[in-house]
Amino acid sequence: MNNSELGILNASQQQLAHFITAAYRTQNAHLIGRKVALLAAEPAPAGTPSTTDLNDILNNAVKAPGTTSIATVPTTPDTALYQMLGQVQTLDSYISLLTSFCIYNEHPAPYDITIPEQASAFVRSMAKWRNYVITGGSVKAMAGYLPVGSIVTQSYSQQVTSADLHLEFLGELFKSFAFPESAMLELDSILTKVVANLGNLKLSFESQSDTLDHFLTYYYFSTVQGTGGKNQPPAMYVAKVRTFYLHIDQATWKLSVGKSTVSQFKFNMNYFDMDTTMNSGLVSTDMTAINSTIGTLTGKTAAQVNTLMNMQAIHADPQKA
C-alpha cells in the first residue's frame, strides 16, 4: 500500500466511522441526553459518497465480482452457530461497505462496467481494496473484529483441462478442509456463477502484465479444543475466517473462459492466504450500530441489504479442533 492508498483508506474509514458513531449516539440517546440530536446531525466528512454512489458500486460488484464471500451454514441446527452466522453477515457487510467507500474515494466517477477496460479496472480495484481493508492493519475497527493472523504467499501452476479446472482450483484452495462432496458441489456452483459473470464482461486489461485479481473470503466454524468429545463439555465454537487474494495470470484467464480449441493448458496463479479468528464478542457489541448504519447509507431494509451484499453459502459441519 502506497501513501496515496493509505490516505484513501484513512479518509474512507473516517467517513464510515462518522455514521457508525451517529448510530451509537441515537441508539444510546436515553443515556446521553438532549444533545444527542445535535451530535448525530453533525455533517459528514467532505467527500463522503452518497447513497446513489454506494448502491452503484455494490450493484456493480454483483455483476462484475472482484470479491466473493462464502459462509458455512451448519448441517445441524444450532442456536450458537446461527447467532455467529448473524455476526459473520454483519462483519462481511461492514467490510463490503468500507471497501465501497475506498473505491469511490479513489475513483469518484462511476465505473462503466459495460466497457471491458473499465470492468477490468473495477474488478481489480474491488479486490485490492478489500484486501487492504482486511489485511492492511490500518483500519482500527477491523484490527479488533478480525485480528490479522498468518499470511502465506502461495503459487499454483498446474496443467489442466477446461473440464477439470474448477475442481482442481477448488481443491488447491480448500485442500485443508475435509468437505463432503455436497459442499464441494456447492462451491463449484458458486465458482461457476462468478466465472460466468466475469466471462460475460469480456474483460480487457491495460497491459500484458496485468492479472485478473479476485478476493475470496470464507467464513467457517471450528470446534474449541477440549469440547464436544466423549467425556467433554458440550461443543463450543469459534468463527474463523480464511481469505485468498488471487492474482490469476492474464493468459490463463483468457484460455479458461474463451472458446479455445486447446484441450489442455497451464493454469498459473499466485495468491496470499490468510487464516484468522473473528472476535465474536466485539462484533456482537457493534452489530446494531453497524446494521443501522448500513441501512441508513444504502436506504434499504435488512433483507434488501442481505441480497445486495450477495453472501453465498455452503453446508458443512464445524471443523474439528
In angstroms, what CA-CA distances link 24 with 89, 223, 244, 288, 291? Answer: 19, 33, 33, 8, 11
**C-beta atoms surrounding 288 within 10 Å:** 13
Domain ranges within the chain, ordered by starting residue:
50-315
Give the Cα separation of 209 and 116 in Å (integer): 17
Return the pLDDT at 132: 94
d(CA 311, CA 218): 10
Which residue carries 461492514 as its cell? 94
Please tell me the predicted confidence (pLDDT) of residue 262. Answer: 57
| % of the chain at pLDDT higher than 70 | 92
Rounded to whole angstroms, the Cα distance separating 19 from 98 reads 12
CA distance 122 to 58: 11
Residue 204 has pLDDT above 90, yes or no: no
Q: How confident is the model at residue 278 (pLDDT cuts 50, 70, 90)?
A: very high
Q: Quote the CA–CA distance of 263 and 196 in Å, as a whole number.
A: 19
Q: Please tell me the predicted confidence (pLDDT) of residue 30.
A: 47
Encoded amino acid at 146, one letter: L
* Residue with grid cell 460488484, as numbered in its chain: 61
Continuous segment of H or E residues that includes residue 244: strand 237-248
DSSP assigned state of 185: H
Reading the block at residue 117, the C-alpha cell is: 477496460
Distance CA 9, CA 4 (A): 9
pLDDT band at residue 101, thresholds of 50, 70 and 90?
very high
pLDDT, one tens digit per residue, over 30-47 is 454 555 454 556 788 889
Residue type, 185: L
51: confidence class by pLDDT, cuts 50, 70, 90: very high
Q: Given a cut of 90, is residue 215 above it in pLDDT? A: yes
Read off the pLDDT of each residue in 41-69 and give the average, rounded to a whole number. Answer: 90
Q: Please provide residue 13's backbone torsions phi and psi, each rounded to the nearest 5 degrees.
A: -70, -30
d(CA 221, CA 200): 34
Helix, strand, coil percentages (3-state) for the chain, rounded to 5, are 50, 20, 30
Q: How far apart are CA 93 and CA 298, in angstroms?
A: 11
Q: How confident is the model at residue 54 (pLDDT cuts 50, 70, 90)?
A: very high
Q: Is the pLDDT of residue 83 over 50?
A: yes
- The β-bridge relationship of strands 67-73 and 212-223 is parallel
Is pLDDT at 301 greater than 60 in this prediction? yes
Would you place residue 21 in the very low, low, confident or very high pLDDT band (cuts 50, 70, 90)? confident
d(CA 214, CA 200): 16
Among 70-79, 184-193, 252-261, the minimum mean pLDDT is found in 252-261
**Angstrom distance (rounded) from CA 139 to CA 135:** 9
In this predicted structure, the answer to whether residue 180 has a pLDDT above a threshold of 90 is no
195 within 8 A of 212, measured Cβ to Cβ: no
Question: 174 is written with which cell numbers?
Answer: 480448500
Residue 23: its pLDDT value, please?
A: 84
Residue 220: its H or E element: strand 212-223
Please tell me whether residue 205 adopts helix, strand or coil conformation. Answer: coil
pLDDT at position 259: 52
Q: Quote the pLDDT of residue 305.
A: 78
* 104-163 residue pLDDT tens: 999 999 999 999 999 999 999 999 999 999 986 778 888 899 987 788 999 988 888 776
Average pLDDT, the chain: 86
